[in-house]
Amino acid sequence: MESDDEFNQFVMNELIDPSSSDDENDLFFGAAHMIIEDSVNNPGRIGSVEGHDVVDRERRLWHGLLYKDYFSDKPTFGPKIFRRRFRMRRPVFLRIMNAVEEHDDYFVQKRNAAGVLGLSCLQKVVAAFRMLAYGVRADALDKYIRIGESTALEALRKFVVAVVEVFGPEYMRLPNEQDTARLLAIGASRGFPGMLGSIDCMHWSWKNCPTAWHGMSRGHKKEPTIILEAIASTDLWIWHAFFGMPGSHNDINILQRSPIFARLAKGEGLQVNYNINGHDYSMGYYLADGIYPSWATFVKTIPEPQGTKEKYFAKAQEVCRKDVDRAFGVLQSRFAIVRGPARLWDEDTLHNIMMACIIMHNMIVEDEREEQYDYKFDDMGQYVCNYEDMGERVSVSHNDAPELDAFIQNYKNIKNKETHAQLKADLIEHLWQNHPDLYSIE
């Protein structure tokens, strides 16, 4: 092309196909026409502050290029590349973007007092996604999205807040009766009746931790970190997330402050009823590593198993307990911002970022399930089954504990070491008798 004006006109002519009638893209078509009209009527402006450097980012043009690359009827980059670069399929992304725009007026494209059309919702949301997915600095987004550093950070903060407020109640919910029944059925099929998932903690390095907080934020990692306690099931859905404790804590300290058993102590939690090896139990449990206490709600491995039965149980427990580690790995792979050092300063923003990443992770898990409640078994013990084939559904009871004595008794039941020992012994025998071929101990 002979000039920038000719190039811009050529690109804009190629952006939109007016003949399209796809309802999903009506919003984009309208915005694109608005952008082209604005570019014709308002070809260029300068800043109102004398001596202030003004960067003409040509945002209208680059919005059109972004739309053509990923969101047009015939995008430059197809679904496979979109899934890799955005960590999710396009319908999920559009669902999030539309909900965020409806929830927060900040993401609605507007004109300023001078009549200049501002950044589109697409540009702001994509900028936030790029920082979450790739962990890049805000200033690096200016090259493709044409958004300034301060605006990108503002978009990120508002985006994660909107995601938490809109999708948090659904995708960070505690398991309801249907969820609990499915989790128990899956656990039973893997040789662990009564299992609700596995629990562990993950450290997120905090590069810009204030110096005054370094002491309490440093633990065995030798650098400031913030800790996430999470519970995950075998499909990698994260059912519980407790984030924000300084890195000097260990798993036991965090457990004492976590609300994980608060509902159960009040008699409002997931009190499930099942039988193992002739013994009745009324509380579900989580698979945990050796640092966790010997409570009735945890099942740990055997550090030095003696005999074939104990070795088989230890292998089975360690295989299934890796579900939460796999969930951490996938979460960090999808959202590199929680894998690298956090560069933001305030804890509230970091909390919102972590929660938003977990929520979107659960949305992706839900979207990409092959068939609901229909799973397969592999040689590594990642076995779940069809829910409808599990026979009678497990009932969930709710017994309120309005009195202090009942509340204290519930906590004693949760921390009962005798029940822990009996449950482990029953599971060792149950695995050996009923699931002898699920796991290899070679």
Task: Tell me the pLDDT tens digit for each residue of 375-408.
Answer: 444 444 443 333 333 333 343 344 444 577 777 8
Residue type, 208: N
Average pLDDT over residues 340-368: 94
Average pLDDT over residues 144-172: 94
Which range of 53-57, 115-119, 153-157 scores highest in mean pLDDT? It is 153-157
Question: Mean pLDDT over residues 185-200, rounded?
Answer: 94
What's the whole-number average pLDDT of the chain?
82
Residue 7, pLDDT score: 46
Quick one: tokens of 64?
Answer: 């059109």
pLDDT per residue over 206-222, tens digit each?
999 999 999 999 988 78
Is the per-residue pLDDT at 177 higher than 90? no
Residue 352 — very low, low, confident or very high, per pLDDT cuts 50/70/90? Answer: very high
Average pLDDT over residues 74-98: 94
Q: Where are the alpha helices (DSSP H) in 16-106?
A: 26-41, 59-70, 79-86, 90-103
* Separation between Cα atoms, residue 220 and residue 225, nearest integer Å: 10
Buried b (16+ CB within 10 A) or exposed e, 112-138: eeeeebebbbbbbbbbbbbbbbbbbeb
pLDDT at 271: 67
Q: What is the DSSP string of 253-316?
A: HHHHH--TTHHHHTT-S-EE-EEETTEEE-S-EEEE-TTS---TTEEE--SS--SHHHHHHHHH
Average the pLDDT over 78-102 and give the result.
94
Rg (CA), the chain: 26
pLDDT value at residue 18: 42
Answer positive or negative: Cα dihedral of 27, 33, 37, 40.
positive
Local confidence band at 114 (pLDDT 50, 70, 90 cut-offs): confident
B/e letters for 48-83, b = 16+ CB within 10 Å, e = fewer, are eeeeeeeeeebbbbbbbbbbbebbbeeeeeeeeebb
Q: Dihedral of CA 335/338/344/349: which sign?
A: positive
Q: What is the pLDDT of residue 142?
A: 83
Choose from 81-95, 402-416, 427-441 the range with maximum mean pLDDT: 81-95
pLDDT > 70: percent of the chain: 79
Question: What does the alpha-carbon distance between residue 112 and residue 298 come to, in Å, rounded to a whole number?
Answer: 57
pLDDT at 154: 95
Average pLDDT of span 292-311: 93
**How much is the pLDDT for 297?**
93
pLDDT for position 371: 44
Confidence check: pLDDT of 105 > 50: yes
pLDDT > 70? residue 5: no
CA dihedral sign of residues 358, 361, 367, 370:
negative
Query: Is residue 211 within 8 Å of residue 323, measured between CB atoms?
Result: no
Bridge partners of 230, per DSSP, are: 200, 241
For 35-39, 113-117, 306-310, which range has the lowest pLDDT when averaged over its residues? 35-39
pLDDT at residue 226, as a whole number? 95
Lowest pLDDT segment from 188-202, 238-252, 265-279, 406-420: 265-279
pLDDT tens digits along 247-285: 999 999 999 999 998 878 877 766 688 899 889 998 899
What residues contact residue 241 under an 8 Å CB cut-off, 6+ apart? 172, 228, 229, 230, 354, 355, 358
- Is the pLDDT at 372 greater than 60, yes or no? no
Work out the widest C-alpha separation in the chain, in whole angstroms. Answer: 85
Confidence category of residue 343, pLDDT binned at 50, 70, 90: confident
* Residue scoring higher pLDDT (26 or 359): 359
- Lookup: tokens for 69: 């690359």
Pure H helices in 147-237: 149-171, 177-189, 214-217
Provide the terminal-to-terminal Cα distance of the chain, rounded to the nearest Å: 68
Instruction: Judge contact between 306 and 296, C-beta under 8 A.
Output: no
Q: What's the pLDDT score for residue 176?
A: 86
For residues 292 and 199, is the Cβ–Cβ distance under 8 A? yes
410 pLDDT tier (thresholds 50, 70, 90)? confident
Assign 429 a pLDDT band (cuts: 50, 70, 90). very high
Is the pLDDT at 325 greater than 90? The verdict is: yes
